[in-house]
Amino acid sequence: MQKDAEIIDFTEITRSADIAADRHGARAKCLQRLVRMDLPVPRTVALSFDAVHRLAQGHVPDTAALLSLFGKAPLVSVRPSSPNQDWGGPASILNIGMNDTRHAALCDSHGETAANALYLRFIQAFSVHVARLDPDMFEPEAPSRDALRAALDAYAEETDEPFPQDPGRQLLEVLRSMARAWEGTTARLLRQAKGAPAEAGLGMLVQAMILGVGPGESGSGVIQFVDGTTGQRRISGRYLPQSQGRDAISVREGALFLARDPRGEALEDRCPDLIAQLRRYGESCRLNLREEMRIDFTVEAGRLWVLDALRVPRSARGAVRIAVMLADEGIIAREDALCRIEPRAVSELLHSQVDPTGPRHVIAQGIAASPGAATGRLVFGSAAAQASAARGEPCILVRRETTPEDIRGMHAAVGVMTERGGMTSHAAVIARGLGVPCVVGISDMRLNRRDGVLITAGGHKLHEGDVITLDGTSGQVLLGGVKMLEPALDDAFHALMRWAGEACDIGVRANADTPADAQTARRFGAEGIGLCRTEHMFFEADRLTVMHEMIFADRPQDRAAVLARLLPMQRADFKRLFEIMQGLPVCIRLFDPPLHEFLPQSREGVKDLADVLGMAVPDVQRRVQALSEFNPMLGMRGVRLGITIPEIYDMQARAIFEATIEASRRGDPVVPEIMIPLVSAMREVELVKTRIDSLAAAVRAERGVDFDYRLGVMVETPRAALRAGDIVQHAAFLSFGTNDLTQMTYGLSRDDAGRFMGSYVKQGVFAEDPFHILDADGVGELLRIGAERGRQARPEVTLSICGEHGGNAESIAFCRAAGFDYVSCSPFRVPVARLAAAQLALSDQARVSHQTGGGQPLAARS
């Protein structure tokens, strides 16, 4: 039949065969390792990526010759062997070689039931995966002779030809079908979603069948020695007598436990030797493969065979526990343990998660803006959120979008969702800072506050008080409560973080505005505060009133008098932060937002304010209007405010200095860092510095106590980056605020970008959302320019980034390459950032040792 048959390119898996994961796939390589460990692996042959690709292209090899390797009238299985276990692949197919003749022979040797089961399994698999027939044609049935006949008839009916009887053709069809499936669009997209390159190769394994059915103790099972979810050591898996493949897991009925178990019969009860043998194999895998493996085994007439072994699938928590355990036992190096954990996975450990095994009733989908999950009652405003929190009822705050006035509501809520906004909208940034789950940009939901109803695209009408669950990790909104997994800050996590800290060669600080943030930051191992935004401090009710009086004061001396009332509060804020962070640097950004953020926009708000200030409504209205701006992002804020109304910075600097003196009394001396925001010209820094230096001198003189401080600049305008050489003359540090820098470099407001960013990324206009992944080409170039010019003019300058990008592996790689001293990110991103930084440092070291270790140097290869 195979007229054009050519010799197929294959390699039998033996101890010494030339098998490589990047040519034959991970499964092939793993099997070779099992062979080398003397595990009883059936005879297996590996087809290379190249051979499989040629199959897909139409090459017709001599499969009969291949089959002949397995003896006379053999049965074989075919399994995919992709470069990475996680990238998936086509389903394995068993019992190739079964035909009427072989069936008749097996009826004799193994009994009719076993023979029927083997043939039926093959017919079904071939029909579904090779002939692409409808799976529903094959109802699960007892393997009777009738069922077998029905299956063969169904096949012939649908395909207009009898079920193929020639084993060579069977094998060819199976191989070709699997090869083509791998190169199809669906499989390609699926594996790309898992991080595989589009052109990843596929190897295949042809293995002698161990039947698992027939006389004597026969069956198949799966065993693993750790719990993938918790990472705890315990044997799990199942064994099913008279079965093949993964039937023990999928069928369950009649399946046995493995180790002795009070819940029922175990394989150990029947065949204690087999379990002892499997334990030895598991231990051998652990030591030799340096990994927790799940072993697929089959027993045939009492004899144990190992068909395959896979890395135990695991949750983030399981992954951390397993890696740390292997390192603790000296099986792997700590460096390896660090590199085995996906940094993103760590953030799952810090928050509650929706249990992936439970049911989900998704009613809306948005952008996953802050990870973790929470269940609570819906509230539509900050006041309701605070009231709910006061009653001890967890609540989820829903807003069209949040503004600084919502901060207190966000503090009170266990989760936040908004109709508008993107990854770096106000809600997203604040929620990440607070570690509160948050979903933004839920465009298929409409909030009608007036009628007190939230309507989803699916037609759900939710009212205030209804219970929902917010999954900030997936971006889903779920109806009602669901089963949760609690955060996993266990010993293993802390050990991993300790090791990461040792491996890191770039600092990781936290953006922390409140004592609670600072405590979280310390707990997660932040090496200081890289950005303390002070404006949130002014939104508390008593302070807001003072802010209003300050804004309505006309003369500098009046403003100063009003601000003097804020001084003790600010001093207490800073003192508390310094005490929590004692011994570590704290970088305080001076007041940044435009003043109109503190003013009411609504008619009633203006009326209330007029009452409080004892002014006429039109006068209040006029001031509110006068302060309103076309483009607040590009307006009167940051250092511009600091220069125009210097009393604000004066008060803040004094509060910082007095808090420094007080906090230094009871511990290490505190050296605060003061950061000037929104600088675009050197002279701005010079003016502020002059004023702050003289304030420091005044405080020193008044208190008779000396202290140090460092003054620096937040580089967030393109001009500040370009002029870093000038600016650094008055700045001990430059901290790049990548949020605003991205906004200005792109000319794109993060608050307004949400409306089209999704479609922009989908169309590939932007490769990534630049507010999410640092734009290395544009914004990154400004960072490099700023860093170079800053360092050239002042070699000892401290360089850092403190935007939302701070915690991303990509940004950390960028900052390491550019020689930055540290990155700063929200407290809940600190562990992620430290792990990513450690991995980058280790990968660099590996590259260097590879280069100097006699291997071919990298440069020569590229």
In order, the DSSP letters of 698-757 are: HHHHHHT-----EEEEEE-SHHHHHTHHHHGGG-SEEEE-HHHHHHHHHT--HHHHHHHH
745 binds a copy of itself (CB under 8 A): yes
Which residue, 74 or 605, has its beta carbon nearer to a copy of itself? 605
Kind of pairing between the strands at 507-511 and 529-533: parallel
Residue 342 in contact with residue 77, Cβ under 8 Å?
A: no
Q: Map residue 585 onto helix, strand or coil.
A: coil
Kindly state whether residue 764 participates in binding a copy of itself, applying the rule CB under 8 A.
yes
CB of 718 to a copy of itself, least distance (A): 4
Query: Would you call 426 a catalytic residue per the annotation?
Result: yes
**Is the CB of residue 459 less than 8 Å from the CB of residue 450?**
no
Among 59, 344, 755, 816, binds a copy of itself (CB under 8 A): 755
In the complex, minimum distance from the CB of residue 815 to a copy of itself, in angstroms, rounded to a whole number: 19
Name residue 839's amino acid. Answer: Q
Say how many C-beta atoms besides its own lie within 10 A of residue 435's C-beta.
Answer: 23
Residue type, 743: Q
Among 630, 704, 796, 852, binds a copy of itself (CB under 8 A): 630
Q: Which amino acid is at 335?
A: E
Q: Which of 348, 751, 769, 804 binds a copy of itself (CB under 8 A)?
A: 751
Shortest Cβ 760–a copy of itself spacing (Å): 7
For residue 827, give Cα distances in angstroms to 347, 424, 432, 433: 11, 16, 8, 6
Nearer to a copy of itself, 183 or 444 (CB): 444
The site for a copy of itself, by CB under 8 A, has a size of 48
- Smallest gap from Cβ 626 to a copy of itself, in A, equals 8
Phi, psi at residue 98, to the nearest 5°?
-70, 130
With contact defined as beta carbons under 8 Å apart, do 170 and 43 qualify?
no
Minimum distance from CB of 717 to a copy of itself (Å)? Answer: 4
Please tell me whether residue 454 binds a copy of itself under the rule CB under 8 A: no
Tell me, rounded to whole angstroms, the distance of Cα 473 from its chain centroid.
Answer: 8
Note if 802 is an active site residue: yes
Tell me if 794 is assigned to a ligand binding site: no
- What is 154-198 written as a DSSP string? HHHHHHSSPPP--HHHHHHHHHHHHHHHHHSHHHHHHHHHTT--T
- Is residue 402 a contact point for a copy of itself (CB under 8 A)? no
Closest distance between a copy of itself and the C-beta of residue 34, in Å?
48
Tracing tokens 């030799």 back to the chain, one arrives at 288
Per CB under 8 A, the list member of 276, 287, 457, 765 interacting with a copy of itself is: 765
By the rule CB under 8 A, 602 interacts with a copy of itself: no
Site membership for a copy of itself, residue 743 (CB under 8 A): yes
**Closest C-alpha to 67, from 110, 13, 8:** 8
Q: Judge whether 311 is annotated as a binding position.
A: no
Nearest-approach distance from CB 690 to a copy of itself, in angstroms: 12
Pick between residue 94 and residue 728 the one whose CB is nearest to a copy of itself. 728
Distance CA 383, CA 449 (A): 13
Q: Active site residue: 24, 351, 411, 426, which one?
A: 426
**Residue 326 or 715 having the CB closest to a copy of itself:** 715
Site map 412..441 versus a copy of itself, x via CB under 8 A? ------------------------------
Q: Which stretch binds a copy of itself (CB under 8 A): 163-171, 209-217, 239-247, 629-637?
A: 629-637
CB of 400 to a copy of itself, least distance (A): 9
State the Cα–Cα distance between residues 476 and 418, nearest whole angstrom: 12
Dihedral over alpha carbons 842, 843, 848, 854 (to 10 degrees): 110
How far apart (Å, rounded) are the C-alpha atoms in residues 742 and 808?
15
Query: Given the DSSP bridges, would you call strands 484-485 and 415-418 parallel, antiparallel or unpaired?
Result: unpaired
Among 701, 705, 712, residue whose Cα is nearest residue 663: 705
Round to whole Å and give the CA distance between 750 and 530: 22
Q: Which residues contact 604 (CB under 8 A, 6 or more apart)?
A: none
- Check binding of 752 to a copy of itself (CB under 8 A): yes
How do 367-370 and 373-379 pair as beta strands?
unpaired
Which positions from 672 through 691 interact with a copy of itself, judged by CB under 8 A?
A: 678, 680-681, 683-684, 687
Site string for a copy of itself, 781-800 (x = CB under 8 A): xx------------------
Q: Which one of 198-206, 357-365, 507-515, 632-640 is the stretch in contact with a copy of itself (CB under 8 A)?
A: 632-640
Q: Is residue 50 near a copy of itself by the rule CB under 8 A?
A: no
- Sequence-ordered list of residues with C-beta below 8 angstroms from that of 467, at least 6 positions apart, any chain: 375, 376, 377, 378, 480, 481
Number of other residues whose CB lies within 10 A of the CB of residue 544: 16
User: 5 or 636, CB closer to a copy of itself?
Assistant: 636
Binding region for a copy of itself (CB under 8 A) out of 237-245, 322-330, 369-377, 626-634: 626-634
Give 43 or 755: the residue with its C-beta nearer to a copy of itself.
755
740 labelled binding-site residue: yes
Which is closer to a copy of itself, CB of 711 or CB of 744? 744
Q: Please state, in angstroms and rounded to a whole number, the distance separating the CA atoms of residues 312 and 293.
A: 5
Catalytic annotation, pick one of 30, 438, 802, 815: 802
Check binding of 633 to a copy of itself (CB under 8 A). Answer: yes
**Binding residue for a copy of itself (CB under 8 A) from 587, 744, 833, 842?**
744
- 471 or 751: CB nearest a copy of itself: 751
The one among 186, 357, 644, 856 contacting a copy of itself by CB under 8 A: 644
CB of 699 to a copy of itself, least distance (A): 25
Interface residue with a copy of itself, options 37, 183, 501, 766 (CB under 8 A): 766
Encode 254-283 in three state secondary structure: CCEECCCECCECEHHHHCHHHHHHHHHHHH
The nearer residue to a copy of itself, 540 or 752, going by C-beta atoms, is 752
Binding mask 697-736 for a copy of itself (x = CB under 8 A): -------------------xxxx--xx-------------
**Minimum Å distance from CB 594 to a copy of itself?**
9
Give the nearer residue to a copy of itself in terms of CB position, either 320 or 711: 711
Report the alpha-carbon distance of residue 3 to residue 7 in Å, rounded.
Answer: 12
**What distance in Å separates the CA atoms of residue 2 and residue 35, rounded to the nearest whole number?**
33
Only segment of 156-164, 197-205, 224-232, 756-764 that touches a copy of itself (CB under 8 A): 756-764
Q: Distance of alpha carbon 86 from its chain centroid, rounded?
A: 16
119 phi, psi to nearest 5 deg? -70, -45
Question: Which one, 560 or 634, has the nearer CB to a copy of itself?
Answer: 634
Say if residue 522 carries a ligand binding annotation: no
Instruction: Give the up-direction half-sphere exposure of residue 785: CA atoms within 13 A in the CB hemisphere.
Output: 17
| Tokens, residue 529 | 């505060």
Q: Of the listed pieces 281-289, 332-340, 384-392, 778-786, which binds a copy of itself according to CB under 8 A?
A: 778-786
Are 463 and 452 within 8 A, CB to CB? yes
- Strand-pairing partners, residue 319, are none
716 annotated ligand-binding residue: yes
How many residues are recorded in the chain?
A: 862
The nearer residue to a copy of itself, 418 or 745, going by C-beta atoms, is 745
Whole-angstrom distance, CA of residue 356 vs CA of residue 313: 14
- Binding residues are 533, 589, 716, 737-740
Contacting positions for a copy of itself (CB under 8 A) = 629-636, 640, 643-644, 678, 680-681, 683-684, 687, 716-719, 722-723, 740, 743-749, 751-753, 755-756, 759-760, 763-766, 775, 777-779, 781-782
- Binding residues for Mg(2+) are 716, 740
List the catalytic residues: 426, 802
- Binding residues for substrate are 533, 589, 716, 737-740
